[in-house]
A and B are shown apart, each in its own frame.
Chain A
Amino acid sequence: MITIKNLSFSYEKNKIFDNFNLHIPEGQACLITGINGVGKSTLLRLMAGVLNPDKGGIVFNPKLGRKPKQKIGFISDRLSLYDSLTVAEGINLHMSAFNSPNFDDTLIKHTKIQYSSKIKSLSIGQRTIYHLSLVLSAAPEILLIDEIIHSIDAYLRKYFIEQLIRLLSERRLTVIMVNVNFHDIEHMVDRIILLKSGRIAVDEKIEALKEKVKRVVSSSRPEGFPILSQEGHSDRPDYFIYPFLDEYRSQIQGEVEDLNLTEIVTAFIGGEYA
Protein backbone atom coordinates (compact mmCIF):
# COMPACT_ATOMS: atom_id res chain seq x y z
CA MET A 1 0.00 0.00 0.00
CA ILE A 2 2.83 2.38 0.91
CA THR A 3 6.42 2.02 -0.22
CA ILE A 4 9.06 4.42 0.98
CA LYS A 5 12.10 4.36 -1.26
CA ASN A 6 15.50 5.79 -0.37
CA LEU A 7 13.92 8.63 1.54
CA SER A 8 16.12 11.34 3.00
CA PHE A 9 14.84 14.19 5.09
CA SER A 10 16.35 16.78 7.38
CA TYR A 11 15.23 19.75 9.44
CA GLU A 12 17.83 22.36 8.50
CA LYS A 13 21.08 20.55 9.34
CA ASN A 14 19.49 17.91 11.56
CA LYS A 15 19.30 14.79 9.44
CA ILE A 16 16.30 12.66 10.40
CA PHE A 17 16.27 10.03 7.64
CA ASP A 18 18.96 9.00 5.21
CA ASN A 19 18.10 6.45 2.51
CA PHE A 20 15.18 5.16 4.54
CA ASN A 21 13.15 2.28 3.08
CA LEU A 22 9.88 0.76 4.26
CA HIS A 23 6.98 -1.16 2.77
CA ILE A 24 3.58 -1.40 4.43
CA PRO A 25 1.13 -3.74 2.71
CA GLU A 26 -2.60 -3.18 2.37
CA GLY A 27 -4.75 -3.95 5.38
CA GLN A 28 -1.93 -3.95 7.89
CA ALA A 29 -2.12 -2.22 11.26
CA CYS A 30 1.37 -1.02 11.91
CA LEU A 31 2.81 0.65 14.97
CA ILE A 32 5.82 2.94 14.71
CA THR A 33 7.70 3.64 17.88
CA GLY A 34 11.04 4.80 19.18
CA ILE A 35 12.54 7.34 21.53
CA ASN A 36 11.41 10.97 21.43
CA GLY A 37 12.87 12.89 18.49
CA VAL A 38 13.71 9.80 16.46
CA GLY A 39 11.40 10.89 13.62
CA LYS A 40 8.18 8.93 14.19
CA SER A 41 5.86 11.90 13.68
CA THR A 42 8.04 13.21 10.86
CA LEU A 43 7.65 9.88 9.08
CA LEU A 44 3.85 10.11 9.38
CA ARG A 45 3.91 13.71 8.12
CA LEU A 46 6.01 12.64 5.14
CA MET A 47 3.50 9.87 4.35
CA ALA A 48 0.61 12.33 4.73
CA GLY A 49 2.24 14.78 2.33
CA VAL A 50 2.53 17.49 4.98
CA LEU A 51 6.30 17.42 4.59
CA ASN A 52 8.21 16.77 1.40
CA PRO A 53 11.27 14.53 1.32
CA ASP A 54 14.66 15.96 0.41
CA LYS A 55 15.42 12.88 -1.65
CA GLY A 56 13.67 9.67 -2.52
CA GLY A 57 9.95 9.26 -2.50
CA ILE A 58 6.81 7.64 -1.18
CA VAL A 59 4.90 5.46 -3.60
CA PHE A 60 1.27 4.57 -2.96
CA ASN A 61 -0.66 1.65 -4.35
CA PRO A 62 -1.93 2.63 -7.83
CA LYS A 63 -5.42 1.62 -6.73
CA LEU A 64 -5.53 4.84 -4.68
CA GLY A 65 -5.72 6.65 -8.00
CA ARG A 66 -4.12 9.88 -9.13
CA LYS A 67 -4.92 11.64 -5.88
CA PRO A 68 -3.67 9.33 -3.14
CA LYS A 69 -4.06 12.11 -0.54
CA GLN A 70 -7.81 11.84 -1.00
CA LYS A 71 -7.57 8.34 0.45
CA ILE A 72 -5.26 9.23 3.33
CA GLY A 73 -6.61 10.26 6.69
CA PHE A 74 -4.05 11.94 8.91
CA ILE A 75 -4.54 13.01 12.50
CA SER A 76 -1.51 14.71 13.93
CA ASP A 77 -0.63 15.10 17.58
CA ARG A 78 -1.09 18.85 17.07
CA LEU A 79 -4.77 18.28 16.20
CA SER A 80 -4.42 20.92 13.52
CA LEU A 81 -7.85 22.26 12.47
CA TYR A 82 -9.36 25.62 11.54
CA ASP A 83 -10.05 26.87 15.06
CA SER A 84 -12.00 29.93 13.94
CA LEU A 85 -14.64 27.86 12.13
CA THR A 86 -17.66 26.31 13.76
CA VAL A 87 -17.98 22.54 13.96
CA ALA A 88 -20.56 22.59 11.14
CA GLU A 89 -18.39 24.86 8.93
CA GLY A 90 -15.40 22.60 9.55
CA ILE A 91 -17.45 19.59 8.47
CA ASN A 92 -18.57 21.35 5.27
CA LEU A 93 -15.01 22.36 4.45
CA HIS A 94 -13.61 18.88 5.04
CA MET A 95 -16.39 17.15 3.14
CA SER A 96 -16.04 19.45 0.14
CA ALA A 97 -12.23 19.24 0.16
CA PHE A 98 -12.31 15.45 0.22
CA ASN A 99 -15.30 15.29 -2.09
CA SER A 100 -17.14 13.19 0.43
CA PRO A 101 -20.96 13.24 0.39
CA ASN A 102 -21.89 12.34 3.96
CA PHE A 103 -20.52 13.10 7.38
CA ASP A 104 -20.29 10.03 9.60
CA ASP A 105 -21.49 11.16 13.03
CA THR A 106 -21.11 7.74 14.67
CA LEU A 107 -18.36 8.94 16.98
CA ILE A 108 -19.41 12.55 17.45
CA LYS A 109 -22.96 11.74 18.57
CA HIS A 110 -21.51 10.10 21.67
CA THR A 111 -20.02 13.41 22.72
CA LYS A 112 -21.52 16.73 23.79
CA ILE A 113 -20.17 18.56 20.76
CA GLN A 114 -22.58 21.20 19.42
CA TYR A 115 -22.50 21.82 15.69
CA SER A 116 -22.71 25.56 16.28
CA SER A 117 -19.71 25.61 18.65
CA LYS A 118 -16.42 27.07 17.52
CA ILE A 119 -13.75 24.42 17.05
CA LYS A 120 -11.45 26.37 19.38
CA SER A 121 -13.95 25.88 22.21
CA LEU A 122 -13.65 22.09 22.05
CA SER A 123 -11.60 20.22 24.63
CA ILE A 124 -8.62 18.16 23.46
CA GLY A 125 -10.65 14.97 23.72
CA GLN A 126 -13.56 16.50 21.78
CA ARG A 127 -11.19 17.83 19.12
CA THR A 128 -9.68 14.37 18.77
CA ILE A 129 -13.09 12.76 18.32
CA TYR A 130 -14.16 15.52 15.94
CA HIS A 131 -10.98 15.14 13.88
CA LEU A 132 -11.33 11.37 13.82
CA SER A 133 -14.94 11.75 12.66
CA LEU A 134 -13.90 14.09 9.85
CA VAL A 135 -11.12 11.78 8.73
CA LEU A 136 -13.24 8.62 8.88
CA SER A 137 -16.10 10.32 7.02
CA ALA A 138 -13.85 10.76 4.01
CA ALA A 139 -13.55 6.94 3.85
CA PRO A 140 -9.75 6.76 3.91
CA GLU A 141 -7.88 3.65 2.84
CA ILE A 142 -4.82 4.65 4.80
CA LEU A 143 -5.17 6.02 8.29
CA LEU A 144 -2.21 7.77 9.91
CA ILE A 145 -2.66 8.45 13.62
CA ASP A 146 -0.08 10.29 15.63
CA GLU A 147 -0.15 9.74 19.42
CA ILE A 148 -3.63 11.04 20.07
CA ILE A 149 -5.67 8.07 21.25
CA HIS A 150 -4.66 8.66 24.87
CA SER A 151 -6.38 12.07 24.85
CA ILE A 152 -9.82 10.50 24.43
CA ASP A 153 -11.71 9.30 27.50
CA ALA A 154 -11.86 5.57 28.22
CA TYR A 155 -15.39 5.08 26.86
CA LEU A 156 -14.79 6.82 23.55
CA ARG A 157 -11.34 5.26 23.20
CA LYS A 158 -12.89 1.82 23.47
CA TYR A 159 -15.60 2.84 20.99
CA PHE A 160 -13.08 4.27 18.54
CA ILE A 161 -10.84 1.22 18.69
CA GLU A 162 -13.83 -1.04 18.10
CA GLN A 163 -14.74 1.01 15.06
CA LEU A 164 -11.15 0.86 13.85
CA ILE A 165 -11.09 -2.91 14.19
CA ARG A 166 -14.35 -3.10 12.23
CA LEU A 167 -12.87 -0.93 9.46
CA LEU A 168 -9.71 -3.02 9.43
CA SER A 169 -11.68 -6.17 8.78
CA GLU A 170 -14.42 -4.73 6.53
CA ARG A 171 -12.48 -2.34 4.36
CA ARG A 172 -8.91 -3.68 4.65
CA LEU A 173 -7.94 -0.29 6.02
CA THR A 174 -4.21 0.26 6.39
CA VAL A 175 -3.47 1.85 9.74
CA ILE A 176 -0.14 3.34 10.72
CA MET A 177 0.07 4.57 14.28
CA VAL A 178 2.67 6.34 16.28
CA ASN A 179 2.09 5.66 19.92
CA VAL A 180 3.69 5.42 23.29
CA ASN A 181 0.70 3.94 25.09
CA PHE A 182 0.05 0.48 23.70
CA HIS A 183 -2.30 -0.99 26.24
CA ASP A 184 -5.49 -0.33 24.25
CA ILE A 185 -4.21 -1.08 20.80
CA GLU A 186 -2.06 -4.13 21.40
CA HIS A 187 -4.70 -6.55 20.18
CA MET A 188 -5.24 -4.78 16.89
CA VAL A 189 -1.64 -4.16 15.81
CA ASP A 190 -0.04 -6.59 13.34
CA ARG A 191 3.43 -5.20 13.08
CA ILE A 192 5.79 -3.07 15.09
CA ILE A 193 8.55 -0.88 13.71
CA LEU A 194 11.09 0.55 16.08
CA LEU A 195 13.06 3.49 14.76
CA LYS A 196 16.58 4.23 15.89
CA SER A 197 18.82 7.01 14.55
CA GLY A 198 16.81 7.42 11.36
CA ARG A 199 16.67 3.74 10.46
CA ILE A 200 14.61 0.69 11.33
CA ALA A 201 16.06 -1.11 14.36
CA VAL A 202 13.23 -3.62 14.75
CA ASP A 203 10.60 -4.62 12.22
CA GLU A 204 8.60 -7.60 13.41
CA LYS A 205 5.13 -9.07 13.54
CA ILE A 206 3.79 -8.67 17.07
CA GLU A 207 3.55 -12.37 17.83
CA ALA A 208 7.03 -13.05 16.49
CA LEU A 209 8.42 -10.21 18.55
CA LYS A 210 6.77 -11.51 21.68
CA GLU A 211 8.60 -14.80 21.14
CA LYS A 212 11.91 -13.03 20.66
CA VAL A 213 11.87 -10.71 23.66
CA LYS A 214 11.82 -12.19 27.16
CA ARG A 215 12.36 -10.94 30.66
CA VAL A 216 14.76 -12.82 32.87
CA VAL A 217 14.45 -12.33 36.60
CA SER A 218 17.72 -13.46 38.07
CA SER A 219 19.99 -12.57 40.96
CA SER A 220 23.02 -12.72 38.67
CA ARG A 221 23.52 -11.09 35.29
CA PRO A 222 22.92 -13.71 32.57
CA GLU A 223 26.31 -13.35 30.85
CA GLY A 224 26.74 -14.51 27.28
CA PHE A 225 23.20 -13.64 26.27
CA PRO A 226 22.10 -10.68 24.13
CA ILE A 227 20.84 -8.35 26.88
CA LEU A 228 18.73 -5.57 25.44
CA SER A 229 18.29 -3.59 28.64
CA GLN A 230 18.08 -3.88 32.37
CA GLU A 231 15.36 -2.59 34.64
CA GLY A 232 15.25 -2.01 38.38
CA HIS A 233 18.09 -1.52 40.81
CA SER A 234 17.21 -4.12 43.41
CA ASP A 235 19.14 -7.28 44.16
CA ARG A 236 17.18 -9.02 41.47
CA PRO A 237 16.96 -6.68 38.46
CA ASP A 238 15.01 -7.64 35.36
CA TYR A 239 17.03 -8.36 32.24
CA PHE A 240 15.42 -8.12 28.81
CA ILE A 241 16.92 -10.45 26.25
CA TYR A 242 16.59 -9.98 22.48
CA PRO A 243 16.69 -12.07 20.39
CA PHE A 244 15.71 -14.83 22.78
CA LEU A 245 16.22 -18.37 21.51
CA ASP A 246 14.41 -21.40 22.91
CA GLU A 247 17.65 -23.11 23.93
CA TYR A 248 18.37 -20.23 26.34
CA ARG A 249 15.63 -21.51 28.65
CA SER A 250 17.76 -24.42 29.82
CA GLN A 251 20.90 -22.29 30.11
CA ILE A 252 19.57 -19.30 32.01
CA GLN A 253 19.44 -19.34 35.78
CA GLY A 254 16.28 -17.53 36.81
CA GLU A 255 12.72 -17.07 35.71
CA VAL A 256 11.95 -16.39 32.04
CA GLU A 257 8.78 -14.33 31.57
CA ASP A 258 6.69 -13.30 28.57
CA LEU A 259 6.11 -9.61 27.95
CA ASN A 260 3.23 -7.56 26.66
CA LEU A 261 3.71 -4.96 23.91
CA THR A 262 4.15 -2.04 26.28
CA GLU A 263 6.87 -3.89 28.19
CA ILE A 264 8.63 -4.92 24.97
CA VAL A 265 8.72 -1.37 23.65
CA THR A 266 9.80 -0.05 27.05
CA ALA A 267 12.64 -2.57 27.02
CA PHE A 268 13.78 -1.46 23.59
CA ILE A 269 13.52 2.23 24.41
CA GLY A 270 15.19 1.64 27.78
CA GLY A 271 18.06 -0.01 25.90
CA GLU A 272 18.52 3.10 23.82
CA TYR A 273 18.63 5.42 26.81
CA ALA A 274 21.02 3.13 28.73
Chain B
Amino acid sequence: MLRKELRELWKPALARFSLVPILMLLRALSYVIAGAKIFILFDQIFIITLAVTSIWIAHNLGITVLKSEYQDRALEYLLTFPFSKYKTLGLKLTARSLILLLPLGIYLLSAAILTNSPRIEVILDNFMFSPYFFPIWCFCILLNGFFCGLQEDRNWRAISGFITFLSIVLIPIGISSLFRIEAQAASEFHLVIIIFLGFCLVLLTHAVAFFPVFRRFDLRFSKKYSNIIRFMGLPILVLLDVVAIVILKSKML
Protein backbone atom coordinates (compact mmCIF):
# COMPACT_ATOMS: atom_id res chain seq x y z
CA MET B 1 0.00 0.00 0.00
CA LEU B 2 2.77 2.41 1.00
CA ARG B 3 4.73 1.53 -2.15
CA LYS B 4 1.68 2.10 -4.34
CA GLU B 5 1.11 5.52 -2.74
CA LEU B 6 4.74 6.60 -3.11
CA ARG B 7 4.80 5.45 -6.74
CA GLU B 8 1.74 7.59 -7.46
CA LEU B 9 3.02 10.64 -5.61
CA TRP B 10 6.70 11.20 -6.22
CA LYS B 11 6.63 12.31 -9.86
CA PRO B 12 3.95 15.04 -9.59
CA ALA B 13 5.42 16.15 -6.25
CA LEU B 14 8.91 16.55 -7.71
CA ALA B 15 7.50 18.50 -10.65
CA ARG B 16 5.71 20.94 -8.34
CA PHE B 17 8.38 21.35 -5.71
CA SER B 18 11.13 21.91 -8.28
CA LEU B 19 9.32 25.20 -8.99
CA VAL B 20 10.84 26.67 -5.83
CA PRO B 21 14.56 26.40 -6.76
CA ILE B 22 13.73 27.31 -10.38
CA LEU B 23 12.03 30.52 -9.23
CA MET B 24 14.94 31.31 -6.93
CA LEU B 25 17.44 30.60 -9.68
CA LEU B 26 15.64 32.85 -12.17
CA ARG B 27 15.53 35.63 -9.63
CA ALA B 28 19.23 35.27 -8.79
CA LEU B 29 20.07 35.10 -12.48
CA SER B 30 18.35 38.39 -13.17
CA TYR B 31 20.50 40.05 -10.50
CA VAL B 32 23.68 38.42 -11.85
CA ILE B 33 22.89 39.66 -15.38
CA ALA B 34 22.26 43.15 -14.00
CA GLY B 35 25.57 42.91 -12.12
CA ALA B 36 23.93 43.84 -8.86
CA LYS B 37 24.48 42.43 -5.42
CA ILE B 38 21.65 40.11 -4.58
CA PHE B 39 19.45 40.73 -1.59
CA ILE B 40 17.20 37.93 -0.66
CA LEU B 41 14.72 38.01 2.14
CA PHE B 42 14.58 34.68 3.81
CA ASP B 43 10.88 35.27 4.36
CA GLN B 44 10.38 35.25 0.60
CA ILE B 45 12.01 31.85 0.17
CA PHE B 46 10.07 30.68 3.12
CA ILE B 47 6.71 31.95 1.91
CA ILE B 48 7.23 30.61 -1.63
CA THR B 49 8.26 27.19 -0.38
CA LEU B 50 5.49 27.15 2.21
CA ALA B 51 2.90 28.24 -0.36
CA VAL B 52 3.96 25.54 -2.84
CA THR B 53 4.02 23.02 -0.01
CA SER B 54 0.59 24.00 1.24
CA ILE B 55 -0.89 23.92 -2.27
CA TRP B 56 0.56 20.45 -2.76
CA ILE B 57 -0.71 19.28 0.60
CA ALA B 58 -4.20 20.68 0.04
CA HIS B 59 -4.30 18.73 -3.22
CA ASN B 60 -2.93 15.52 -1.81
CA LEU B 61 -4.34 15.23 1.66
CA GLY B 62 -7.77 14.81 3.14
CA ILE B 63 -10.38 13.65 0.71
CA THR B 64 -7.69 13.78 -1.97
CA VAL B 65 -5.88 11.13 0.04
CA LEU B 66 -8.58 9.02 -1.52
CA LYS B 67 -8.25 10.73 -4.91
CA SER B 68 -7.05 7.66 -6.74
CA GLU B 69 -9.83 5.68 -5.08
CA TYR B 70 -12.38 8.19 -6.34
CA GLN B 71 -10.88 8.35 -9.83
CA ASP B 72 -10.66 4.58 -10.06
CA ARG B 73 -13.95 4.07 -8.21
CA ALA B 74 -11.89 1.90 -5.88
CA LEU B 75 -12.98 3.32 -2.54
CA GLU B 76 -15.31 0.41 -1.95
CA TYR B 77 -12.47 -1.98 -2.75
CA LEU B 78 -10.12 -0.17 -0.37
CA LEU B 79 -12.69 -0.38 2.41
CA THR B 80 -12.76 -4.17 2.08
CA PHE B 81 -9.05 -4.37 2.93
CA PRO B 82 -8.39 -5.90 6.33
CA PHE B 83 -6.91 -2.68 7.68
CA SER B 84 -8.47 -0.45 10.27
CA LYS B 85 -9.47 2.99 9.04
CA TYR B 86 -6.59 4.36 11.11
CA LYS B 87 -4.04 2.14 9.38
CA THR B 88 -5.43 2.98 5.94
CA LEU B 89 -5.19 6.70 6.66
CA GLY B 90 -1.86 6.23 8.43
CA LEU B 91 -0.27 4.50 5.43
CA LYS B 92 -1.51 7.16 3.05
CA LEU B 93 -0.39 9.99 5.31
CA THR B 94 3.00 8.36 5.84
CA ALA B 95 3.56 8.30 2.10
CA ARG B 96 2.64 11.97 1.87
CA SER B 97 4.77 12.88 4.86
CA LEU B 98 7.75 11.15 3.25
CA ILE B 99 7.16 13.14 0.07
CA LEU B 100 7.15 16.29 2.20
CA LEU B 101 10.83 15.72 2.89
CA LEU B 102 11.27 16.89 -0.69
CA PRO B 103 10.33 20.59 -0.20
CA LEU B 104 12.12 20.58 3.13
CA GLY B 105 15.27 19.34 1.42
CA ILE B 106 14.89 21.84 -1.42
CA TYR B 107 14.31 24.65 1.04
CA LEU B 108 17.28 23.79 3.24
CA LEU B 109 19.50 23.35 0.18
CA SER B 110 18.41 26.72 -1.22
CA ALA B 111 19.05 28.30 2.18
CA ALA B 112 22.51 26.72 2.42
CA ILE B 113 23.51 27.86 -1.08
CA LEU B 114 22.23 31.39 -0.50
CA THR B 115 23.86 31.90 2.88
CA ASN B 116 27.22 30.63 1.59
CA SER B 117 27.28 32.71 -1.58
CA PRO B 118 29.48 35.86 -1.37
CA ARG B 119 27.32 37.69 -3.90
CA ILE B 120 24.18 37.15 -1.91
CA GLU B 121 23.16 38.94 1.23
CA VAL B 122 20.45 37.26 3.18
CA ILE B 123 18.10 39.35 5.23
CA LEU B 124 15.80 37.82 7.79
CA ASP B 125 12.73 39.86 8.66
CA ASN B 126 10.94 37.60 11.06
CA PHE B 127 12.73 34.95 13.04
CA MET B 128 9.60 32.81 12.99
CA PHE B 129 10.21 32.28 9.28
CA SER B 130 13.79 31.06 9.61
CA PRO B 131 14.83 27.66 8.25
CA TYR B 132 15.01 26.49 11.83
CA PHE B 133 11.24 26.66 12.15
CA PHE B 134 10.42 25.35 8.72
CA PRO B 135 9.78 21.74 9.83
CA ILE B 136 7.32 23.01 12.46
CA TRP B 137 5.43 25.00 9.86
CA CYS B 138 5.47 22.00 7.56
CA PHE B 139 3.97 19.85 10.30
CA CYS B 140 1.26 22.46 10.96
CA ILE B 141 0.47 22.75 7.26
CA LEU B 142 0.51 18.97 6.84
CA LEU B 143 -2.11 18.47 9.51
CA ASN B 144 -4.07 21.47 8.34
CA GLY B 145 -3.91 20.32 4.73
CA PHE B 146 -5.38 17.01 5.76
CA PHE B 147 -8.44 18.71 7.22
CA CYS B 148 -8.80 21.15 4.32
CA GLY B 149 -8.46 18.33 1.86
CA LEU B 150 -11.47 16.61 3.36
CA GLN B 151 -13.68 19.14 1.62
CA GLU B 152 -15.65 17.33 -1.03
CA ASP B 153 -15.89 20.22 -3.46
CA ARG B 154 -12.70 21.29 -5.27
CA ASN B 155 -13.47 25.02 -4.98
CA TRP B 156 -14.33 24.82 -1.32
CA ARG B 157 -11.13 22.86 -0.79
CA ALA B 158 -9.16 25.75 -2.26
CA ILE B 159 -11.10 28.36 -0.26
CA SER B 160 -10.74 26.35 2.91
CA GLY B 161 -7.00 25.82 2.26
CA PHE B 162 -6.45 29.53 1.62
CA ILE B 163 -8.32 30.69 4.72
CA THR B 164 -6.63 28.20 7.01
CA PHE B 165 -3.20 28.93 5.49
CA LEU B 166 -3.78 32.62 6.25
CA SER B 167 -4.92 31.75 9.76
CA ILE B 168 -1.88 29.60 10.45
CA VAL B 169 0.42 32.48 9.49
CA LEU B 170 -1.64 35.43 10.74
CA ILE B 171 -2.71 34.15 14.13
CA PRO B 172 0.86 33.56 15.49
CA ILE B 173 1.94 36.98 14.20
CA GLY B 174 -1.18 38.48 15.78
CA ILE B 175 -0.44 36.77 19.08
CA SER B 176 3.20 37.88 19.09
CA SER B 177 2.10 41.46 18.34
CA LEU B 178 -0.60 41.36 21.00
CA PHE B 179 1.84 40.30 23.68
CA ARG B 180 4.60 42.56 22.30
CA ILE B 181 6.94 39.62 21.76
CA GLU B 182 9.78 40.88 19.62
CA ALA B 183 10.66 38.10 17.23
CA GLN B 184 14.41 38.69 17.34
CA ALA B 185 14.49 38.86 21.10
CA ALA B 186 12.21 35.97 21.90
CA SER B 187 13.56 32.58 22.75
CA GLU B 188 13.02 29.74 20.32
CA PHE B 189 10.78 28.06 22.85
CA HIS B 190 8.45 31.07 22.96
CA LEU B 191 8.20 31.15 19.19
CA VAL B 192 7.44 27.46 18.93
CA ILE B 193 4.72 27.89 21.55
CA ILE B 194 3.26 30.86 19.65
CA ILE B 195 3.26 29.00 16.33
CA PHE B 196 1.57 26.02 17.93
CA LEU B 197 -0.91 28.17 19.81
CA GLY B 198 -2.06 29.76 16.56
CA PHE B 199 -2.11 26.40 14.88
CA CYS B 200 -4.12 24.79 17.67
CA LEU B 201 -6.83 27.43 17.27
CA VAL B 202 -7.06 26.55 13.57
CA LEU B 203 -6.96 22.85 14.30
CA LEU B 204 -9.69 23.15 16.90
CA THR B 205 -12.20 24.46 14.37
CA HIS B 206 -11.53 21.47 12.13
CA ALA B 207 -11.47 18.94 14.94
CA VAL B 208 -14.93 19.96 16.16
CA ALA B 209 -16.29 18.93 12.77
CA PHE B 210 -13.89 16.07 12.12
CA PHE B 211 -14.21 13.76 15.08
CA PRO B 212 -17.99 13.33 15.16
CA VAL B 213 -17.95 12.57 11.43
CA PHE B 214 -14.79 10.45 11.44
CA ARG B 215 -16.51 7.80 13.56
CA ARG B 216 -18.39 6.86 10.39
CA PHE B 217 -15.55 6.99 7.84
CA ASP B 218 -17.58 5.49 5.08
CA LEU B 219 -18.87 6.51 1.70
CA ARG B 220 -20.97 9.29 3.19
CA PHE B 221 -18.12 10.83 5.18
CA SER B 222 -17.00 13.84 3.19
CA LYS B 223 -20.37 15.47 2.50
CA LYS B 224 -21.26 15.86 6.18
CA TYR B 225 -17.77 17.07 7.06
CA SER B 226 -17.78 19.59 4.20
CA ASN B 227 -21.07 21.07 5.36
CA ILE B 228 -19.96 21.49 8.97
CA ILE B 229 -16.65 23.13 7.97
CA ARG B 230 -18.28 25.35 5.36
CA PHE B 231 -20.95 26.78 7.61
CA MET B 232 -19.25 26.62 11.03
CA GLY B 233 -15.46 26.23 10.79
CA LEU B 234 -14.54 28.70 8.07
CA PRO B 235 -16.56 31.66 9.46
CA ILE B 236 -14.75 31.22 12.79
CA LEU B 237 -11.37 31.20 11.04
CA VAL B 238 -12.25 34.29 9.00
CA LEU B 239 -13.16 36.02 12.26
CA LEU B 240 -9.83 35.02 13.84
CA ASP B 241 -7.96 36.30 10.76
CA VAL B 242 -9.77 39.63 10.92
CA VAL B 243 -8.96 39.94 14.63
CA ALA B 244 -5.26 39.16 13.89
CA ILE B 245 -5.17 41.80 11.11
CA VAL B 246 -6.83 44.40 13.37
CA ILE B 247 -4.27 43.71 16.12
CA LEU B 248 -1.39 43.98 13.63
CA LYS B 249 -2.70 47.23 12.22
CA SER B 250 -3.29 48.79 15.62
CA LYS B 251 0.26 47.89 16.72
CA MET B 252 1.75 49.28 13.50
CA LEU B 253 0.02 52.65 13.91
A residues 96-131 in Cβ contact with B at 8 Å: 96-99, 120
Please tell me the size bucket of the interface on B: 20 to 34
B252 proximal to A (CB < 8 A): no
> What mask results when residues 60 to 100 of chain A are scored 1 for a CB within 8 Å of chain B, else 0?
00000001011010101010111111000100010011110
Indicate whether A80 sits within 8 Å of B218 (C-beta atoms), given known contacts A69-B81, A93-B4. Answer: no
> What mask results when residues 75 to 103 of chain B are scored 1 for a CB within 8 Å of chain A, else 0?
11101111100000000000000000000
Considering the chains assembled together, what is the distance between the CA atoms of A211 and B4 in angstroms?
A: 54
A residues 42-72 in Cβ contact with B at 8 Å: 45, 48-52, 67, 69-70, 72
Interface hit among B44-52, B65-73, B141-149, B229-237: B65-73
Considering the chains assembled together, what is the distance between the CA atoms of A12 and B73 in angstroms?
A: 21
Considering the chains assembled together, what is the distance between the CA atoms of A48 and B83 in angstroms?
A: 12
Chain B residues within an 8 Å CB radius of A12: 220
Contact A49 B80 (CB under 8 A): yes
Q: Which secondary structure dominates chain B's binding surface? A: loop
A11 proximal to B (CB < 8 A): yes
Q: Which secondary structure dominates chain A's binding surface? A: loop
Chain B residues within an 8 Å CB radius of A11: 220
Indicate whether A82 sits within 8 Å of B82 (C-beta atoms), given known contacts A52-B217, A52-B218, A96-B1. Answer: no
Q: Which of B1, B69, B80, B218 meets A69, CB within 8 Å?
A: B80
Count, chain A residues at interface, CB 8 A: 28
Chain B residues within an 8 Å CB radius of A84: 68, 71-72
Contact B74 A97 (CB under 8 A): no
Chain A residues within an 8 Å CB radius of B217: 52
Considering the chains assembled together, what is the distance between the CA atoms of A81 and B74 in angstroms?
A: 5
Interface centre among A70, A72, A80, A96 (most CB of B within 10 A): A80
Q: Which of A67, A83, A93, A120 meets B82, CB within 8 Å?
A: A67
Considering the chains assembled together, what is the distance between the CA atoms of A39 and B171 in angstroms?
A: 49
Indicate whether A49 sits within 8 Å of B74 (C-beta atoms), given known contacts A82-B68, A93-B1. Answer: no
Considering the chains assembled together, what is the distance between the CA atoms of A51 and B80 in angstroms?
A: 10
Chain A residues within an 8 Å CB radius of B11: none
**In the complex, what's the smallest C-beta–C-beta distance from A100 to chain B, in angstroms?**
10
Contact A80 B77 (CB under 8 A): yes
Q: Which of B4, B71, B73, B220 meets A78, CB within 8 Å?
A: B73
Chain B positions within 8 Å of A, measured between CB atoms, are 1, 4, 68-69, 71-77, 79-83, 216-220
Sorted nearest first, the 4 A-B pairs with minimum C-beta distance are A70-B82, A80-B76, A69-B82, A83-B72
28 contacts across the A-B interface (CB closer than 8 A): A11-B220, A12-B220, A48-B79, A48-B80, A50-B218, A51-B218, A52-B217, A52-B218, A69-B81, A69-B82, A70-B82, A72-B80, A74-B80, A78-B76, A80-B73, A80-B75, A80-B76, A81-B72, A82-B68, A82-B77, A83-B71, A83-B72, A83-B73, A83-B74, A85-B4, A93-B4, A97-B81, A97-B83
Chain A positions within 8 Å of B, measured between CB atoms, are 11-12, 45, 48-52, 67, 69-70, 72, 74, 76, 78, 80-85, 89, 93, 96-99, 120
